[in-house]
Amino acid sequence: MGAPERSRVVALEVNGEQVELEVPARRLLVHFIRDDLGLTGTHVGCDTGNCGACTIQLDGRPVKSCMVLAVQVDGAKVTTVEGLASNGELTPLQQSFNAHHALQCGYCTPGMLMSASALLARNPHPTEDEVRYALQGNICRCTGYVNIVEAVVAAGGSA
């Protein structure tokens, strides 16, 4: 039986690249992503699991990386906001955020993009209600959400 350990080597795929690193058991996934991997697109907002700024995709599903321990994701596939664009080419969703002015201060944007891209992967043409339901766990204090919702609906082609 594996005895409890204070740290552990985790091996996982991050944005398509294999990563292997020893992490303390107490390290939150968001700090592993930001501090150990240097991927600072994932933001720490409230740090209490309410705001969704730290949303990433774990095996394709959006989760809040401040409510996951890094040791828990051993063997998993993680996608952060840096994993969306390829070769500097923004995804249609990111372009739609740009076109619809779906951000002001931008702090919540990475989390919004990770939740919205997971929605579009499962449901390519969401309605406004479906977009609002999918983004419920992402808080924006600037925009009032109108342009964010419009951008996601437009990226799905339903508007």
Q: Cβ 18 to another protein, closest distance in Å?
A: 20
Q: How many residues does the chain have?
A: 159
Of 101 and 122, which CB lies nearer to another protein in the complex structure? Answer: 122
| Kind plus residue range of the DSSP H or E element containing 154 | helix 146-155
- Least distance between another protein and beta carbon 103 (Å): 19
Of the pair 119, 155, the CB lying nearest another protein is at 119
- Please say whether the beta carbons of 82 and 41 come within 8 A: yes
Tell me whether residue 3 or residue 87 sits nearer to another protein (CB atom): 3
Q: Is the dihedral of CA 49, 52, 56, 60 positive or negative?
A: positive
Q: Where are the beta strands (DSSP E) in 25-149?
A: 55-58, 61-64, 77-79
Q: Are 9 and 25 in contact, with CB atoms under 8 Å apart? A: no
Minimum distance of another protein from residue 29's CB (angstroms): 10
> Could you tell me the smallest distance in angstroms from the CB atom of residue 27 to another protein?
8
Task: Show the CA angle centred on residue 134, arms to residues 43 and 82, nearest 5°.
Answer: 35
Task: Provide the binding-site residues for another protein, judged by CB under 8 A.
Answer: 1-6, 8, 24-28, 47-49, 52, 55, 58, 61-64, 66-69, 71-72, 74, 115, 118-119, 133-134, 136-138
Q: Which is nearer to another protein, 1 or 88 (CB)?
A: 1
